[in-house]
Each structure stands twice: as structure tokens, then as C-alpha cells.
């Protein structure tokens, strides 16, 4: 793939600037590690974990893992898309209602307002969904969560079409701005016509003066003035045409992004919800760990994946839907495996003469399965949120939004949200705080994705390597050297930053 140049700096300067930008993006990613880990520890404490442990007997280990995994991934996806849509709405209103005398692409106000709206929407949506899941589990058990997830999934396609209609209406209101362009164009044409008539009259007068024997030198000042006015008019006309074209291009880009992400929100959760329903159903009827369940699940996952990947009109939501479904399946397997490990250990201890009651073994199995389900689901949701954030930050940099604005702005906003979530932790509760932190990770992912995109746009390899080094070192240093977590997150962010979901 051809490397696009970013500036004309020397290789050493590119490496220095790239390292600084990478360090900013990596640092905010690492700064989220400790709060997320502490929140997860609180969620897996004895008190909050008890309702989950009690439900293992009802839905089985497979059902528990798939249900928690699907719910966590749905929260992450919904929060990310809510932020993108809110940011797009703010940007659309800004583009449609502001004067185009200045470039929208370089407008700090545009990107700042859209970025803040997106970050706030992502965090608030995550907190709301996290608190809702916690409330449903505590009051209506895992079966209630299954019903809520199913109803939410069923309602999203109709809401998707309703939102598209509303967006078209809003777009029509914003395009009323085109009447301003028409009136401005007509006004310019009238002025040009008047000037042409005035110049034609002056030419006739000068010809008559020359025919009468005059010199015509007294009109020199008038001709200079007319020429300046004509040049100024041509300049304004060119600027207006460029601004109009830029406004329409940006509005089309925003509309395309909204359509893609609304489709993603409406349909991407269907595959993993189907997996959760099937596995939970087996668990409710007492077949949660039966070998035949694996065959059914594998056939189901393989069939859905094949149908989506073979679609002639392959879309972004299909890719994320397949990934979410596979992640849900893996979380279910890990949950079942955790309980099996406890059982195997107990059998080895019994063979060594250390007997444990069946009730004690069952309790330990349920607890270990619950811990594994929460840990795996939360990590998968964090990766999903980070990836979706990077899928926004990378295209923004390639679009020309400004690498410094996206990397540094995203990091500052994520840092502010991180402080705000910590201050509001008593109000949010464990579930609300966990969802809000997922939103913060998504905002940090915008900065990380932008830094990853910058690494690929330098004109020399020192700039690329410097940016990558800054990203990794910043993430490890601020993340307290969690090498495994950071080592998984950075490549995922890079891959999604290089994609183009629009």
C-alpha cells in the first residue's frame, strides 16, 4: 500500500513528533487500565457476584458465559455507536448552520463540539446500560437479562428505520442552508452583471471621448478601481464555490458514517444474541454442559458466519457481528472450562486422599465459572470498545481532521471523563461505573487509533517507528507494565484504525 506523506519534516523531526503523539495516545490507553481493573475487582467481590453465582444452576455455565458476554458486547457496541451518532448529529448541525467563510475541515470549534458530544454520548450510554444490566440481574435474574437482551435486539431494527426517517428530516432541515448558497450565488451574478454593464458603458464613453479628440487619461483611476473590484469579486466567487463544495462533501461524509453505524447498531447484535438464546435455552433445560450442545453451537456459529461472510453486499456490521458472535462463543467455552478445571482439581485431590463434599465442589465450580464469565466478558467488551474507538480515530486522521487535534484532543477528553467517572462512582454503582469506563476506553481508543494512523502516514520509517514506540511505551508505562493486556490491545487498535468503516 502506498505511503501517504504527512508534512515535509526531516526524518529526525518526524521521529520526535511521532514519538510524542504516540506517547500521548498510549498514555491515555494505559491510564484506563488501573480504574478498569479496580472496577472489575469490585464486580467480582462476594456480594456483587452472588446473584451471578446463584444463576449458574439455572442457565448453566455455557448459558451464563454467552449471556454475560453478549450483554457486555452489546453494551460496548451500543455505547460506541451512540457516541458516533451524537457526534455526527452535532457536526451536521454545525456544518449546515454556520457560514462557510472558513474551512470546516480546519475548524477547531467543529471538531471540539463533535468530539465532546461523542465522548459524552458514549460514556453516558455505557453508564446507563451498565446500571440497567446490574439492576435487571439483581431483580429478575439471568432469565430476565435474557428477555431484556432479546427484546432490545428485536426492537433495534424497527428503531433503525425510524431513526433513518428522522435523520432524513433533520438532513432536509440542514440542507435548507443550500438556499443561502443560491441567494448568494444569485447576488454575485447580479453584481457581476451590473459591473459588466458599467464597464461596457465606460468603454462606450471612452470611445466617444477619443473620437472627440480627448486623451482619455482621466479614466485611468476608474479602470484600476474596476479591475480591483473584478478581481475581488472573482476571489469571493471562488471562495464561495470551494466552501459550498466542502460543506456538501462533509455533509455527505457525515451522512455515510451515520448510515453505516446505524446499520451496525441495528443488526450486529443479532448473531451473538442468537448464540446466547440457544446456549441459555440448553442450560435452562439441564443440558448446559452436554456434549451435544457443542455440536449444535459449532454448527450454529459456522452457519451464521458462512451466511454473513458470503453475502454479496458485505457490510461493516456483518464483520463486527461475526466477531461478536465468535467472542460470545469463546466466552461461553471459557466459562464452562473454568468450572471443569475446578472439578478436575477436586478429583485429583480426592485421589490423593483429600475428600470434599459434592456441595462444596459444586459451589466452587459455580463461583469459578462466574468469575471467568465476568472477567472474559469485560475484557472482550473493553477490546470491542477500544477497537470501535480506533475505527473512528484512524479515519478522522486520514480524512484530514488534524492528527494533533484528534490524538491530543481525544486523550484530554478521555482523561477528563476518567476523573469524572471516578468522582461519580458512588452514584453510578458497580454496573454504571463499569459501563461508563467502557465508554472512556472507547474515547481513549479514538486517540490511540489516531496515533496508529499517524504512524502509517509519515514519509519516512523513523517517523513510523517513533510513533509506534511512543504508543507502546506510553501504554506500558501508564498501564503499570501490564504487558499481556497492552500487548493484546495495541494490535487490535492498530488493525481497526487501518480499516475504513465508512
Give the pLDDT confidence of 224-277 residue by residue, as tens digits. 676 777 777 777 777 777 777 777 778 888 888 888 888 888 898 999 999 999
Asked whether residue 193 is domain-assigned, the answer is no
Residue closest to 373 by CA, chosen among 210, 101, 145, 124: 145
CA distance 201 to 209: 12
- What is 247-264 written as a DSSP string? HHHHHHHHHHHHHHHHHH
Q: How confident is the model at residue 2 (pLDDT cuts 50, 70, 90)?
A: very low
74-90: pLDDT as tens digits: 999 999 999 999 998 88
| Chain-centre distance for alpha carbon 420 | 20
430: cell is 458497580
The pTM assigned to this predicted structure is 0.85
What is the per-residue pLDDT for 102?
47
Asked whether residue 303 is domain-assigned, the answer is yes
CA distance 171 to 89: 9
467: cell is 510513533
Torsion 102-103-109-114 (CA) sign: positive
The mean of the pLDDT values for the chain is 83
CA distance 62 to 336: 6
| Chain-centre distance for alpha carbon 114 | 13
Which burial class, exposed, middle or buried, applies to 284 when counting CB atoms under 10 A from its CB (0-12, 13-18, 19+)? middle
Task: Count CA atoms closer than 13 A to 475's CA, side-chain side.
Answer: 29
**Once rounded to an integer, what is the mean pLDDT over residues 460-465?**
87
Asked whether residue 204 is domain-assigned, the answer is no
Coil vs helix vs strand at 388: helix
Q: Which residues of 380-410 are buried (b: 16+ CB within 10 A; e: fewer)?
A: bbbbbbbbbbbbbbbbbbbeebbbebbbbbb
Number of domains in the chain: 1
What is the per-residue pLDDT for 366?
86
Task: Count CA atoms closer than 13 A to 460's CA, side-chain side.
Answer: 15
Least confident range of 89-103, 320-334, 406-420:
89-103
Asked whether residue 225 is domain-assigned, the answer is no
Torsion 9-10-14-16 (CA) sign: negative
CA distance 325 to 317: 12
Least confident range of 71-75, 211-215, 496-500:
211-215
CB-CB contact of 130 with 433 (8 Å): yes
Helix/strand/coil percent split, the chain, to 5: 85, 0, 15
Quick one: angle between helices 11-31 and 33-43, nearest 10?
20
Task: Return the higher-pLDDT residue of 285 and 417.
Answer: 417
Asked whether residue 213 is domain-assigned, the answer is no
Q: Which residues of 18-41 are buried (b: 16+ CB within 10 A; e: fewer)?
A: bbbbbbbbbbbbbbbbebbeebbe
CB-CB contact of 160 with 262 (8 Å): yes
Which burial class, exposed, middle or buried, applies to 298 when counting CB atoms under 10 A from its CB (0-12, 13-18, 19+)? exposed
Q: How confident is the model at residue 319 (pLDDT cuts 50, 70, 90)?
A: confident
273 is in which domain, residue-wise? 11-181+240-497
Amino acid at each position: 500500500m502506498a505511503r501517504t506523506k504527512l508534512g515535509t519534516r526531516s526524518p529526525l523531526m518526524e521521529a520526535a513528533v511521532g514519538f510524542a503523539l504516540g506517547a500521548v495516545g498510549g498514555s491515555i490507553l494505559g491510564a484506563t487500565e488501573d480504574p478498569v481493573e479496580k472496577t472489575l475487582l469490585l464486580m467480582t467481590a462476594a456480594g456483587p457476584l452472588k446473584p451471578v453465582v446463584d444463576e449458574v444452576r439455572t442457565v448453566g455455565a455455557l448459558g451464563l458465559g454467552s449471556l454475560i458476554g453478549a450483554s457486555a458486547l452489546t453494551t460496548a457496541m451500543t455505547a460506541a455507536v451512540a457516541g458516533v451518532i451524537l457526534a455526527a448529529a452535532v457536526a451536521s448541525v454545525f456544518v449546515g448552520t454556520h457560514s462557510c467563510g472558513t474551512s470546516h475541515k480546519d475548524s477547531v470549534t467543529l471538531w471540539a463540539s463533535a468530539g465532546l458530544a461523542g465522548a459524552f454520548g458514549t460514556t453516558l450510554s455505557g453508564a446507563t446500560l451498565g446500571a440497567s444490566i446490574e439492576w435487571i440481574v439483581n431483580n429478575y435474574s439471568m432469565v430476565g437479562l435474557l428477555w431484556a437482551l432479546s427484546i432490545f435486539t428485536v426492537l433495534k431494527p424497527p428503531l433503525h428505520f425510524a431513526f433513518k426517517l428522522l435523520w432524513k428530516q433533520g438532513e432536509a432541515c440542514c440542507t435548507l442552508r443550500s438556499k443561502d448558497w443560491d441567494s448568494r450565488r444569485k447576488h454575485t451574478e447580479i453584481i457581476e452583471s451590473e459591473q459588466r454593464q458599467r464597464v461596457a458603458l465606460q468603454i462606450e464613453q471612452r470611445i466617444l471621448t477619443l473620437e472627440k479628440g480627448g486623451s482619455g487619461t482621466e479614466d485611468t483611476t476608474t479602470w484600476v478601481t474596476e479591475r480591483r473590484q473584478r478581481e475581488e469579486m472573482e476571489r469571493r466567487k471562488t471562495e464561495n464555490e470551494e466552501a459550498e463544495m466542502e460543506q456538501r462533501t462533509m455533509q455527505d461524509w457525515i451522512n455515510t458514517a451515520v448510515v453505516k453505524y446505524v446499520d451496525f447498531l441495528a443488526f450486529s447484535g443479532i448473531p451473538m444474541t442468537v448464540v446466547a438464546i440457544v446456549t441459555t435455552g440448553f442450560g435452562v433445560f439441564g443440558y448446559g454442559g452436554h456434549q451435544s450442545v457443542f455440536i449444535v453451537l459449532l454448527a450454529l456459529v459456522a452457519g451464521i458466519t458462512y451466511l454473513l461472510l458470503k453475502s454479496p453486499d458485505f457490510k461493516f456490521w456483518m464483520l463486527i457481528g461475526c466477531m461478536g458472535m465468535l467472542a460470545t462463543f469463546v466466552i461461553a467455552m471459557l466459562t464452562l472450562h473454568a468450572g471443569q478445571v475446578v472439578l478436575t482439581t477436586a478429583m485429583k485431590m480426592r485421589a490423593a486422599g483429600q475428600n470434599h463434599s459434592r456441595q462444596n465442589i459444586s459451589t466452587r465450580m459455580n463461583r469459578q465459572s462466574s468469575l471467568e464469565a465476568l472477567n472474559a466478558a469485560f475484557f472482550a467488551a473493553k477490546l470491542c470498545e477500544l477497537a470501535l474507538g480506533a475505527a473512528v480515530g484512524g479515519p478522522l486522521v486520514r480524512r484530514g481532521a488534524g492528527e494533533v487535534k484528534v490524538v491530543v484532543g481525544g486523550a484530554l477528553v478521555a482523561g477528563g471523563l476518567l476523573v469524572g467517572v471516578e468522582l461519580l462512582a458512588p452514584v453510578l454503582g458497580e454496573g454504571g461505573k463499569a459501563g461508563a469506563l467502557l465508554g472512556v476506553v472507547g474515547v481513549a481508543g479514538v486517540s490511540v487509533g489516531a496515533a496508529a494512523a499517524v504512524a502509517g502516514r509519515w514519509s519516512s520509517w523513523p517517523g513510523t517507528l517513533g510513533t509506534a514506540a511512543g504508543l507502546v511505551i506510553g501504554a506500558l508505562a501508564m498501564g503499570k507494565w501490564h504487558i499481556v493486556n497492552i500487548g493484546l490491545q495495541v494490535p487490535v487498535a492498530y488493525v481497526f484504525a487501518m480499516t475504513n468503516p465508512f
